[in-house]
A and B are shown apart, each in its own frame.
Chain A
Amino acid sequence: MKSKTSLPAVFISPSMIVLAVLAFVPTVFAINIAFQDKQLSSEDSHYVGLANFIALFSDRRFLNSIVVSLTWEVMTVVATMCIAVLLGILMFEAASARMRNILSVVFLIPVLMPRVSAAFVWKFAFHPLFGLAVYPYKAITGQPLDLLANPSTALATVAFVDVWQWSLFFSVIILHLLESLPHEPLEAAELDHARTWERYAYVALPMLKIPLISLTFVKMIESLRSFDLIYVMTRGGPGIKTETLDMYAFSQGFIESGNISYASSMAVLMMVATTIAFTALWKRVHA
């Protein structure tokens, strides 16, 4: 083999240059705008130092949106992983090979649907008057049930749609992971009269520790993308009960005030927080 070839440089450089330009230019711009008082409506702007960031920390809507975002993140990640593991195990235990093939296609439908579509489908299903999902409740109690307008259920209802999209998809991955395990340890546990749940809790799942952590990591990243669902289903409402950080940044920058700089300072804080958190997590997992 010729040890000197131009291939790696020729093949890698263009991609890295394109990605670096596309990622760094907006990032630098975002930081730059965050220190100004730029409005969507006017051309000129001035540097205002840290004013935007200082204002953020006395902005109750901003603090609310942090709480909403964190709640969303915990709810969707935990529910997705629990349901996916449980459903993956149930399929592994009870479904025939043919059934598994069918299910691993069927369970991809929700995640492949555009989030806007999923949001609409469920918004209509939860419609208090004509919705299919709330129909049984209505038929039994005679009362309408408006989950999306109720401050205490709205966020969980939107989160349900996210979990619907991701947990079924992840359960297919977990099924494939279980299928890839060697049979001997599970059979040995069975011979030792381990109960079904013990075989999974103490044998199978610990063997899948690393892929399960990676899946959780992926879901944590994807859960940051709550905007589409919330935008279509509640627009942050009722009140600000479902207003996540990206929803609030969007409404500050575009809907209400056109305050691009203020929105940008929020975006910069989000960027810093997610980059630090996920880089630290990644380094820990891959250490």
Chain B
Amino acid sequence: MSSRGRGKWVAKSAVALAAAIAVIPALWTLLNAFKNRVDLVTPTPLLIFHPTLDNILYVLGRESVTAGLINSILVSGASVLIGMVLGLPAAYAVARYPIKRADDIQFFVLSLRFLPPVAVAIPLMVIWLDLGLYDSRVALIATYTLLTLSSIIWLAVPAFKRVPKEVEEAAKVDGYGPYAIFFLIALPVASRSLIGAVAFSFVLVWNEFLIALMLTTSDAKTLPIVASELTQLGRDVPWGILNASVILLSLPPLLFIGILSGFLNSVIKKKA
């Protein structure tokens, strides 16, 4: 029995180590965001130091960062909204109605994810240049709709399938039409899973980098691009500012961590 106890102990330490590796980089970055340059460029990493707000104030006060933040919010918000308005009804129809090509539709939606981002970004750059929309939010929103719409459909189909059929049939007996059933019954009943799907698609476009890098040069630059430009600065790297901008960039997706964790849990539990 003691070998079993030792095994448990080893397993526990391994899990604890993994948890440390998951959390420490983020916490360390948060700590670094409050350090002065002298406390960052030390041969020995410092845990105790005089905290400063300079980095964060500098980042928040920088015009390029504010512009990037506004662009990111508008572009992610609009493309997620369009993805929801178009994608949720489509997912419902695929989930609930006997459509001949339902499998083909789902495979088509998934296959959009196989497209290498470069393969989408290069021709789109030429297209948006020709249309005079290069480096505009409109162009980026249209391009990101491809990502949000396909991911929302993909994740919302199973969410609608999990709505008990009896609930919808009862509504039908009560005289609800097919559209009323969708808006008044299916949508509210599935809402918790649907929020998870929508949050996922938001994280996807908020974090997107390659397409934004190729489709913007100044006006429509999103926050990841602005942050990456800071990381490419010359020799005298402002490490503190960099850490602060990484924190700002990473906060919005991390705000959804609770929703997404619950979503993951419910998806797998109910499938089995």
A-to-B contact residues, CB < 8 Å: 1-2, 5, 7-8, 10-12, 14-16, 18-19, 22-23, 25-27, 29-30, 32-33, 38, 87, 90-91, 93-95, 99, 103-110, 112-125, 129-130, 132, 135, 138-139, 164, 168, 171-173, 176-177, 179-181, 196, 221, 224-225, 227-228, 231-232, 245-246, 249-250, 253-254, 260, 263-264, 266-268, 270-271, 274-275, 278-279, 282
Contact = CB atoms under 8 A, between A and B. Distances in A.
Contacts of B253: 112-114
B22 A110 contact: yes
Contacts of A26: 119-120, 123-124, 127
A1 B172 contact: yes
Closest 7 CB pairs between A and B?
Answer: A180-B272, A29-B123, A94-B11, A267-B119, A11-B89, A15-B90, A114-B207
B227 interface: yes
A249 B118 CA distance: 7
A232 B110 CA distance: 28
B103 to A, nearest CB: 8
A278 B116 CA distance: 12
Contact of A15 (B87, B124, B242, B264): B87
Contact of B149 (A15, A117, A138): A15
Interface in B92-139: 92-94, 97, 99, 105, 107-120, 122-127
A16 B91 CA distance: 11
Contact of A271 (B119, B150, B256): B119
Given A22-B145, A176-B268, A196 B261 contact: no
A19 B249 contact: no
B78 interface: no
B38 to A, nearest CB: 11
28 contacts: A10-B89, A11-B90, A14-B86, A18-B145, A26-B120, A26-B123, A29-B127, A30-B122, A87-B18, A110-B26, A113-B253, A114-B227, A117-B227, A122-B25, A124-B29, A124-B242, A130-B41, A168-B22, A173-B268, A176-B265, A260-B125, A271-B114, A271-B115, A271-B116, A271-B119, A275-B114, A279-B111, A282-B107
Main secondary structure of the interface of A (DSSP, over half): helix
Contacts of B122: 30, 33, 249, 253, 260, 263-264, 267
Contacts of B272: 177, 180-181
Contacts of A138: 43
Interface in B210-268: 210, 213-214, 224, 227-228, 231, 239, 242-243, 246, 249-250, 253-254, 256-258, 260-261, 264-265, 268
A14 B186 CA distance: 20
Contacts of B26: 109-110, 113, 121
